[in-house]
Amino acid sequence: MDRDTGAKTNRKAGGIRIGYGLDSVLVSTGLEYRFDETQQLTGGWSDRVTYVLRNNAKYQITPDWRVVGKLNYALSDSSLGQILRRRLHARACSAGPIARSRTTG
More confident site: 88 or 60: 60
Distance of CA 6 to the CA centre of its chain: 27
Instruction: Kindly tell me the burial class for residue 76, based on how many C-beta atoms sit within 10 Å of its own C-beta (0-12, 13-18, 19 or more).
Output: middle
pTM score? 0.66
Q: Is 3 helix (H, G, I), strand (E, B) or coil?
A: coil
49 lies in some domain = yes
101 lies in some domain = no
At 84, give phi and psi (nearest 5°).
-100, 5
- Structural domain including 35 reads 9-96
29 lies in some domain = yes
Total domain count, the chain:
1
53 lies in some domain = yes
Please provide the distance, in angstroms rounded to a whole number, between the alpha carbons at the two ends of the chain: 52
Per-residue pLDDT at 75: 87
Alpha-carbon gap, residue 13 to 33, rounded angstroms:
6
73 lies in some domain = yes
More confident site: 37 or 5: 37
Per-residue pLDDT at 103: 55
pLDDT digit string (tens) for 66-83? 899 998 998 888 877 766
pLDDT digit string (tens) for 7-34? 788 899 999 999 999 999 999 999 999 9
